[in-house]
Amino acid sequence: MRDAVSGVIPIRAAPARSKYHFEDLLRARGLALPPVSIDTLQVNITKLCNQVCRHCHVDASPSRKEMLSAEGVSKCLQILERHPQIAKLDITGGAPELHPGFDCFVENAVALGKHVMVRHNLTVQLDGNPQAGEGKEYLPGFFARNRVEVISSLPYHQEYFTDTQRGAGVFRKSMEAMRRLNAEGYGVEGSGLSLNLVYNPVGPYLPADQAGLEADYKRELKSKFGLVFNGLYTITNMPINRFRLHLDKSGQYESYMDKLLAAFNPAAAAGVMCRSLISVGHDGRIYDCDFNQMLELRAAGAGGKPLGIFDFDFDQVLGRRIRFDDHCLGCTAGAGSSCGGATA
């Protein structure tokens, strides 16, 4: 709009960059974080879930329809077969077990000699598929036969805090699901069947010390419920999607981001998961991590070409420049945060 007096169109200054701009922080600290390997293929095969968790960065729910196509599943297996350096398959969702091709995906990846991890929410064993009505009681035995590593979210070892974050009745169902996994040998010393739990704070806080929390969980779950597991991963709540909405509504977004920024740890930054992992969406697109996937920050190769599984080029993917944004502070605060817990 022209100035009424001078008739000159004023030049508007570019909007100021966010004080949480992650790449500015890296430059100020003299840090570079290129990919170092691709040892894990993480695949989000569906956003369908039997739960609606308050902190869920995927916005998963019983009403979601998105699923990786059969062709997409086949292409992921082809990538795993052709690239032995990708040693791990990390299957996530939603509740990944609700994908109709889940069982075959697991069995075929195991047949290729890959280490398969499943992000299992526990309650799906009891709830089954909210859309198709299929039962999932067989899962503990299926996991054991395929020697899958089971990774399960349990926000706390007390009912109130877990149900506050994940919904009424979730804690008691989770205890029953863990009992069934223990009966198959999961978490039992010497069985070789790994059951690892995931802790994330119930609110805008940084996780406490991972080793200390693991000791607390093991003591409480064993003494009160007779349950065992192998390890505990602490994960910081990412300020995106459903949790971001909660922060905005409660007026806590800026204070939470300030907390993450103040706790920035260069050692944790060096270990961020996007340096050795790629994330595949339900549409076959490739992302640097699951969080970038939910923000639709697609990974790109040379010349800015978007990356995907249907024209997969290992060297292009390994040579990409990782896309960072404000939310990356969540992975680099304190002891760090990743799909495998603390990084420093």
CA distance linking residue 243 with residue 202, whole number of Å: 10
pLDDT digits (tens, 9 = 90+) for 240-287: 988 899 899 999 999 999 999 999 999 999 999 999 999 999 999 999
Average pLDDT, the chain: 92
- Read off the pLDDT of each residue in 324-338 and give the average, rounded to a whole number: 94
Domains within the chain, CATH numbers bracketed:
33-332 (3.20.20.70)
Is the separation of the CB atoms in 327 and 295 below 8 Å?
yes
Element (H, E) at 179: helix 170-183
Handedness of CA 115, 143, 107, 77 (dihedral sign): negative
CA distance linking residue 56 with residue 101, whole number of Å: 23
pLDDT, residue 61, reads: 87
User: Is 5 a residue whose pLDDT tops 50?
Assistant: no
The pTM of this model reads 0.92
pLDDT digits (tens, 9 = 90+) for 99-150: 999 999 999 999 999 999 999 999 999 998 999 889 999 999 999 999 999 9
Give residue 2's pLDDT band: very low, low, confident or very high (50, 70, 90): very low
CA distance linking residue 276 with residue 270, whole number of Å: 11
pLDDT, residue 299, reads: 97
pLDDT, residue 102, reads: 97
Is the separation of the CB atoms in 74 and 112 below 8 Å?
no
CA distance linking residue 267 with residue 259, whole number of Å: 17
pLDDT digits (tens, 9 = 90+) for 10-57: 554 444 568 899 999 999 999 999 999 999 999 999 999 988 877 677
